[in-house]
Each structure stands twice: as C-alpha cells, then as structure tokens.
Chains A and B, each alone.
Chain A
C-alpha cells in the first residue's frame, strides 16, 4: 500500500474521543452522564462494525483471509493425519498418473519444432488412394524449388544411420543429408561456427554440421571441433558448425547427430529416380494460403509425373497428387504411431483421477458431518456462510496440493520409466519428455479442478447447516444427514464401481491383447537368437571381395565354442528393415502392380536353421550356392500360394522386373511363412536369394547367431565382437539385440498399454474398495444406535450383518450395470489397438465384474462384522 498505514488502535482512540466529545455535548444539553453516554453510543451505531470496516479497508482482505483459511486448514488437517495422508496419497497417484501421461503427450504430440514460426512450415508429400507416400523424387524437388512462387524456400532431406570414420575409427551416428538452404528454411542460427549454405551442395569442399548434443557427447563441447574432419563413403567432410541445442532434427524421437549437404551433382549422376528422400520442407510466403501453394506445386508435380514410367494403378494408389501438409510438429511418424495409444492412456489416467475425486468427495462428506458442530459454532459466532464455504474449499485445495507435489515426483519417475520403454530395440526412440512449465500448468489446472469437483458438494452441504441443531447435537451430528445426502454418497460409491469396471475391462483387454500377440507363432524362433549389424568399409563392394568377407566371418563365428548355427542376411524378421521388388513368373498374370510385389532377403546358408524356420519342400541354401554356381532362390508359403497356386514351384524360374538385372533364379525350396514387419500383419510374400550370389552388395548386413545353450546368446557377444574385429578392424558393429528383445520392442505400444492400464486397474480396484469400506463403516458408525435398537428388538447379529452386506451389494450391482455400457463402448472404440479381443467378449466383462464383486464384498465384511458386534446395551445408553 502506498499510503502510510494507520494503526488499528489509532482508529480505536478516535472512536473513543468521538464518544467522549458527544457525551460532553449531550451533558451540556442537560442529560445525565449515564444517559449521555448511552445516547452517544446509540448515535454512533455499531462500533465493532466500524472497526471491522476500518480494519478491512487497511488490508488486502482476500489475501489475509486466504492466509487465515490456509492456516486454519493446515491446523485442521494436522488434527486428522490419517485422513490427510490417505487423501494426499490418492491425489498423488491420480495427479502423478495424469502429469506423467501428459508429459509424454506433450513431448510426442503437442510440442512444435523449435524453429522460427513453425506454423509457416509445410511438408510436400505425394498421395493417392492409399494415403500419403513420402516426397516426390529429387528431380521433381528441384523443379518445385525453382518453379514455385508460394514458398520462401524449400529444402529436401533424408536421414539414416550413417557409418562415418573419425580419426580413422568407424562409428555409427544418426545423420541426414539436406539441401544447402535447409537451415535457412527453418530459420535456425548456429550455436557455433556456421550452418549450411546453398553452395555447400556442390561438395566443394565437403562440409558438415554437427548437433549440439553430438558435439557435447563426442567432442566434449570443445570449440576446436570446427575444422575437424570425418570421412563418409570415402569422402572427407570438414565440420563447420554446431546447430542450436534445442534443435534435434525434424523427426521427433530420433535426434540427429550430423547434417551433410545433399551432393546434387554426385547423386544426379546416378539413377535419379532412385534417390530416396525422406521429406521436402518448405516455408510458405507470408499471406500465401496452403491451398494456393498446393495447387501450384501439384501442377508441377503432375507435369513431372506425366513422363514417368510407373504403372497407372500404382500412380493412382500412391502418386496421383502432391499435398501440402502442416509441418509445425515435424515428421509425424511418431505421432501417427503413438497418438491413439497415448490418448487412450490419457483417458485411463483421467478416469483414475475421477475415481480418486469421487473417493475423496465421499471422505470429505463424512468428515463434513463430523465437523458439523465446529461449523455450527462458527456460524453462530457470526461467520458468514460464504466465508465458511470459501474456507472449506481452501482447505480442500490445500489438501489436494499436498498430494499434487509428491504426485509430480511420481510423475517424474513414471516418465523416466516410460522413456525406458521407448529406448528399447534397435532404433531407440528418444522422447524429450521434461516436466516443464506446460506440464506444471497442466498439473495445477487438473489439481484445482479436481479439488473443486471433490469439494463442491461437501461445501454446499456446509452452507445448509443449521447452527442450532449442529451445536445441540455436538460434534457428531447424528440426524443432520438428509436422505438425499445418504443417497448421494451411495451413488458416489456406485459411480466408483462403474468407473472401476471400465478401467478393469480396459486393462483386461490390453493384457489379453499382449498375451494373444505373444502366443502368435511368428514362424521363427524368438528365443536363443542373437542378431547384430555389421557394416563393412566401402572397398568390399566388389562381388568377389564381398562373398569372401562373409565366408571369413561365418567361418570365424561358427568355430566359436557355444555357437550352434550362424548366418548372415540383409535383414532379419521384425527388424524394421525391408527390401522388395516386382516379380515376373511364367504362368502367373498379375492383375495389378501390387500383385507382383515380393519382399527379397539375401541370406547365407544356415539362416533358416539359425532362426528355426522350417523347410516345407526342396532344399535350403548351401555354401555351394556361390557366384559361379547356378542362380537359385527360395520362396515362402505365401509366395508359393500366390504365384503357383496348387502347382509345385520347385524347379520353376523367378525373374525380377528390374533394369540391368536379367538374371533368372531357379526355385529350389519352399519355407514356412514368418512375420515380417510386425506380429499383427498377415505374412508377406518372400523370396530368399543366396548372399553369395548377391545382386546388391549391401554395406550393412545382419549376423544371426544361435547359441547351443538356452539363453546363452548374450554371453557369446564379447567373443563374437572380438572375433569380428579380428576379421576386419573396419567393421562397424551395431544394433546388437536378442530376438526376444527385438520381439518385445515391436510390441512397445501393447506393453505400454497393458502395463499402465493394469497398474491403473489395480489402483482403481483399491480406490473403489477403500471407497466402499469408508462409506459402509461410516454409516455403521452413524447408525450405531439404530442398530442397537434393532438388536434390542430381537434382530440377530446375522440379520444386521446381512443388511450391511445387502446395502453394499446394491451399490456394487448398480455401479456394474451403469458401467457396463461404457465398458462395451470402450472396447469397441479401442478395437484397432486390440488383438483377439472383441466387444462381445463375455468372459472379459464377467471376469472384471467378478473381481470387483469379490473385492467389494471383502471390503464390506469388516463394517458388517462391526455392525453385527454392536452391543444393544451400550448403544442405547449413548442416546
């Protein structure tokens, strides 16, 4: 306050002086001293009101009252430590769950790229009847970049794991190639040195930009990193700058280590349509609408596609038009994959909180009755009702805040735990989940809302307290509870039961989904197999050297003690890697381009033995299937069925529709189908070619090792690693993973959902049983006399206990009935996330309802026993 504050007693003195002056005056008028004093007081009116008004005018009253309410609230919470602790723990779990899931949602779905005006950024992607299918080819990008007028700039980029050598040592890092104007389009400033420029695309000299994170990790943040060199595909790149710390690339989940310029000239010398871009990002000119930009770039795209040689059906399905899509959140692969599961988890967490709120509302009601006496006295001594409601709500908010703080700590743990889930597998997804201001604001809002929701009804009830009755009946108001209030508390319990049913059914559905997926036969052995990636130096790409190096590798690995079988292959099942082509088979007429598609894996002998894939017909590869021998191939069941029907494929020939490949492979065997990209899909058609007859000398292959001993795969790792480095020091070994963990990592979403929803389900069960127990035992306590009277009139303990149990059975039954439609709706809505679980699955509902009934009756037993144990004599004496 800006003016000098007047003291309270100064004002008091002024009033006293007024009264004296007025008395003097009245006595002068002829009144007696006593009469004059009386009259002066009367003329003044309400003295204490004047003083109070003065007091309030001197202060931030609301603030004073808030502090007062908080102090009062803290005192009354301290007086009920068990109640306080129970509520705080409940809230901590509820708010913690919500904050944790929100942190993930914020990181994965909501956060914008840390670039300048992200809303102006768009991706250019091809689309057709089958949805979007990535950016157009590089030459089309060049035309888009020069011929459009809608963009301030457009940049192409593609990221991959790169094998680079620094100081002669190979390492694998996450890198991207990008147009020279990439950073200009994003509007980023370097943290150190400079970022890429347009003419860096000439690769003269070749330069590179590293991320802040890689700079700190690999170079310990040394500024002398500028000028350091690294070699990639035989070319030496000089590091010229570091990107800002917040920028991790355009693909959330896989932070970049390095950016190299797209080498236009070198790339264009190759087959230009085969350059695979990951994305084209462009910045709209201010004021240009997305639709206009789309029309303009689509026209260019169509003219580019006019002379493509793609089959018409393929074009219609995938490449019929160019779309302009918002890019503010970056590449949305992660968002597409996780948005449904994350929102599902958010709903589950919200339900848990709602359950907690219902629980606490009931506890607050019960507490409100016990405090009726106290509130009655406050009312009688002149407290305003509004003030009491405010005080009760303040107390509730305080109580909730007590829980919210540890809740945030719990959320922190939860987030770390879930981040761990995402970190598994070959391609760890790194979620930049931080409990930042947004999460805090969210948690605060949720806490306040929950507190209001829980505190509103008890506060409203407090407003209707009759002070006279409340005081007369003492602290424990025995008759103050109206019928409506009793119904309300019972309805709250039924509500909790219903919510628990929804949560349990959800948990059951997700748990069964995971178990169903685990029981799917993937067609290969998912235990006792180790896989790891080996990248060879560029110089091994000649066919002879290529075959020779794998001969050496297999020879070394197979002679190691503990190794049962081993093989090399381009990729392994569920690894996320893939190759494919179009097939030409005599006697098979494809109806569409899609009909001719086949996946191709190049494998060595021993591949099928190591992975336990059964041979159905013919033979598998041997070490005799070399470059000089006859070209052979294996196909899987699905391919055999599709291309040969009932005919025997053995001995038939397989050709690929491909430029510069007129080789024909003779089919020598048929193997069992295996799952390929994930467990849910139908098995894909596969052709296997011997890696020794390689048509593509892939720099990176996967080594598959099966140990003799069960669970012995990881124990072999160190000897395999040293053995491989003895074969060649330039080998880069990465992506070491057992098949078991590989399988788990493909079930990431399912494990997350089933793990968290079960945890939440158990929590729901506990909350509901505590709720039921609390309400019943409170009611038994209140009806102590009534029970005593009934028993005095001849009711047996059994009858009394039965009536308590019957009451709880009603609450459970109503809750279950009310929750059932929501549970059915929930399973139906979650259908795409489930596997082998249907909305009509009776067992699911029965099991959940049964569990709830069981827990409900168990929690009702104790109050029922207490009711049965009421002594009529003592109960009646208390009247």
Chain B
C-alpha cells in the first residue's frame, strides 16, 4: 500500500509468498521483525523488496493462526524487541507450503521453457 514508487528493478513481493518467506526465515531460530526483514532481503540476494511495514500485519496473521509464537526479549545489541519463533504447526505448514511453492515454480518454469523453445 506504499505510495513509494518502486524505481529500482528489485522484485515486488508476491502476495501470499511473504508468509512462506517468514516461516522459512524462522526455521533457523527465533528472530525479531527487523531481523526477519533483513534476512529475507539478504537471502534473496537483495532481489526482493520488502516494505518493512507490511511485514507486521503478516506476522500478526501468522500469530493468530498459531504458526508462530511471540514474546519480548533482548536483542544482540541490548535493544528490547519482540521475538518470533516457529511453532510445531508452523513447521508443518512450512513443509506443505514449500512443496506447493516448488510445484508452482516448476510448472511456471515448464511453461516458460516451452515458450522459449517455440520461439
């Protein structure tokens, strides 16, 4: 919903894939919101553009669904932050969503390949 013009050629995050990325980031341990945002950006080789603000409604949603749990703690540089961790049902969700994601990617890839070969 940001009015900021996306001038750089980094990819805008697909709707719905944010959840998957958050869950995947948390697989490596608990993390706070800012850390998650940074991690997503870094893991994608700075290819993905995440509005940090849009992360929080997503976290809120995941928390409501019970896939992540949260609590206040202290960060590495002694700042108070709210930390998120993956729950058991969150892990299950991650595997099933990952599988589905892979299927979609594979399917899209196939379509694109076919089109390229016909060119």
- Assess the A54–B52 pair: CB atoms within 8 A: no
Knowing A17-B79, A17-B81, A53-B57, the reply to whether A45 touches B2 (Cβ < 8 A) is yes
* Chain A residue contacts of B53, Cβ below 8 A: 44-47, 49-50
Mask of B45-73 contacts with A, CB within 8 angstroms, 1/0: 00000011110110011001000000000
Is the Cβ of A3 less than 8 Å from the Cβ of B64? yes
A21 at the interface (CB under 8 A from B): yes
Does B24 make an interface contact (CB < 8 A)? no
A24 near B4: Cβ-Cβ < 8 Å: no
A57 to B59, CA, bound (A): 12
Nearest CB of chain B from residue A105's CB, rounded to whole Å: 50
Q: Report B-chain residues with C-beta under 8 Å of the C-beta of A44.
A: 51-53
Query: How long is the Cα–Cα vector from A43 to B56 in the complex, in angstroms?
Result: 13
Near B by CB (< 8 A), chain A positions 1-58 give: 3, 6, 11, 13-15, 17-18, 20-22, 24-25, 42-47, 49-50, 53-54, 57
Which of B52, B54, B75 gathers most chain A CB within 10 Å?
A: B52
- Counting chain B CB atoms within 10 Å of each CB, which of A17, A22, A47, A57 scores highest? A17
CB distance from B64 to the nearest CB of A (A): 6
Contact yes or no, B33 A54, CB < 8 A: no
What residue of chain A has the Cβ atom nearest to residue B54's Cβ? A45
A28 to chain B, nearest CB (A): 9
Most buried by A among B4, B53, B61: B53
Shortest beta-carbon distance, B109 to chain A, in Å? 31
- Closest residue of B by beta carbon distance from A16: B80
A377-396 interface code vs B (CB 8 A; 1 in, 0 out): 00000000000000000000
A6: chain B residues at CB < 8 Å are: 60
Chain A positions within 8 Å of B64 at CB level: 3, 57
CB–CB A50/B57 < 8 A: yes
Tell me the complex Cα distance, A434–B81, Å: 64
B32 near A54: Cβ-Cβ < 8 Å: no
Please, which residues of chain B bring their CB within 8 A of the CB of A3? 64
Q: How far is the CB of A628 from chain B (nearest CB, A)?
A: 105
Is the Cβ of A46 less than 8 Å from the Cβ of B34? no
B52 touches A43 (CB 8 A): yes
Measured CA separation A573–B54 after assembly (Å) = 88
Chain B: interface size category: 20 to 34
B56 cross-chain contacts in A, Cβ below 8 A: 11, 14-15, 18, 50, 54
When chains A and B are docked, how far (Å) is the Cα of A495 from the Cα of B52?
58
Q: Are A21 and B1 in contact (CB under 8 A)?
A: no
When distances are taken between beta carbons in the complex, the residues of chain B under 8 Å from A46 are 1-3, 53
- Bound CA–CA A18/B37 (angstroms): 10
In whole angstroms, what is the CA distance A257 to B64 when docked? 65
B30 within 8 A of A: no
A18 contacts which of B32, B51, B54, B60 (Cβ < 8 Å)? Answer: B32
Instruction: Tell me if B52 and A57 are in contact (CB < 8 A).
Output: no
Contact of B52 among A11, A17, A22 (CB under 8 A): A22
Which residue of A has the minimal Cβ distance to B78?
A: A24
The reply on B15 being an interface residue by CB < 8 A is no
Whether a CB of chain A sits under 8 angstroms from the CB of B103 is no
Which B residues are CB-close (under 8 A) to A43? 37, 51-52
Alpha-carbon distance between A750 and B75 when the two chains are bound, in angstroms? 88
Instruction: Please tell me if B77 contacts chain A, counting CB pairs below 8 Å.
Output: yes
User: Closest residue to B52 on the A side, CB-wise?
Assistant: A44
Closest B residue to A58 by CB, please name it. Answer: B60
- A18 and B33 contact, CB distance less than 8 A: yes
Among A13, A17, A49, the residue within 8 A (CB) of B1 is: A49
Q: Which one of B51, B60, B75, B77 contacts A45 once the chains associate, using CB atoms below 8 Å?
A: B51
Q: Are A14 and B57 in contact (CB under 8 A)?
A: no
Taking the closest CB of chain A, its distance from the CB of B59, in whole angstroms, is 9
A53 to B55, CA, bound (A): 12
**Known A22-B34, A54-B60; contact A45-B52, beta-carbon cutoff 8 A:** yes
Q: In the bound complex, do residue B60 and residue A42 qualify as a contact, i.e. CB atoms below 8 Å apart?
A: no
Query: In the bound complex, what is the Cα–Cα distance between A47 and B53 (angstroms)?
Result: 7
The complex places the Cα of A22 from the Cα of B38 at a distance, in Å, of: 9
Closest CB of chain A to B96's CB: distance in Å?
22
Q: How far is the CA of A331 from the CA of B57 in the complex (A)?
A: 66
Given A44-B51, A45-B51, decide whether A21 and B34 contact each other with a Cβ distance below 8 A. Answer: yes
Taking CB as reference atom, which chain B residue is nearest A57? B60
Q: How far is the CB of A22 from chain B (nearest CB, A)?
A: 5
Q: Hey, which chain A residues are within 8 Å of B75, CB to CB?
A: 21
Q: In the assembly, what is the distance between CA of A50 and CA of B110, in Å?
A: 38
Kindly identify which residue among B4, B57, B80 contacts A57, using a CB–CB cutoff of 8 Å. Answer: B57
A25 touches B52 (CB 8 A): no
- Which residues between 2 and 29 of chain B lie within 8 Å of chain A, taking CB atoms? 2-4
Kindly list chain B residues whose C-beta atoms are within 8 Å of the C-beta of A57: 57, 60-61, 64
Q: Is the CB of B81 within 8 A of A21?
A: yes
A24: chain B residues within 8 A (beta carbon):
77, 79
Q: Min CB distance, A47 to chain B, in Å?
A: 6
Q: Does B82 reach chain A (CB closer than 8 Å)? A: yes
* Minimum CB distance partner of B49 in chain A: A43
Determine the distance from Cα of A3 to Cα of B52 in the docked complex, in whole angstroms. 25
**Cα distance A6–B70 in the bound complex, in angstroms:** 11
The residue in B3, B61, B81 that gathers the most chain A C-beta atoms within 10 A of its C-beta is B81
**Are the C-beta atoms of A21 and B32 separated by less than 8 Å?**
yes
B66 to chain A, nearest CB (A): 8
- Hey, which chain B residues are within 8 Å of A11, CB to CB? 56, 60
Q: Are B38 and A25 in contact (CB under 8 A)?
A: yes
B74 to chain A, nearest CB (A): 10
Q: Give Cα distance in the complex from A3 to B69, angstroms.
A: 12
Q: Is A18 in contact with B34, judged by CB distance below 8 angstroms?
A: yes
Given contacts A45-B2, A45-B54, contact A17 B60 (CB under 8 A): no
Instruction: Give chain A interface residues in 472-516, CB to chain B under 8 Å.
Output: none
Kindly list chain B residues whose C-beta atoms are within 8 Å of the C-beta of A15: 56
A24 CB, min distance to chain B CBs, angstroms: 6
Q: Identify which of residues 50-79 in chain A touch chain B, using a CB-to-CB cut-off of 8 Å.
A: 50, 53-54, 57
A24 to B32, CA, bound (A): 14
A15–B34 Cα distance when bound, in Å, is: 9
B80-103 Cβ-contact flags toward A at 8 Å (1 or 0):
111000000000000000000000
Q: Is A21's CB under 8 angstroms from B79's CB?
A: yes
CB contacts (< 8 Å) of B51 on chain A: these are 43-45
* Interface, chain B (partner A; CB < 8 A): 1-4, 32-35, 37-38, 51-54, 56-57, 60-61, 64, 75, 77, 79-82
For the A-B complex with A14-B33, A45-B1 known, give 10 more contacts whose Cβ atoms are closer than 8 Å: A11-B60, A21-B35, A24-B77, A25-B34, A43-B37, A43-B51, A45-B2, A45-B52, A47-B53, A53-B57
Among all A-B residue pairs, the 4 with the closest Cβ atoms: A45-B53, A21-B34, A45-B51, A45-B2
A-B contact pairs, 23 of them (CB 8 A): A11-B56, A13-B80, A14-B81, A14-B82, A17-B34, A17-B81, A18-B33, A21-B34, A21-B77, A21-B79, A21-B81, A22-B52, A25-B38, A43-B37, A43-B51, A44-B52, A44-B53, A45-B54, A46-B1, A50-B54, A50-B57, A57-B57, A57-B60
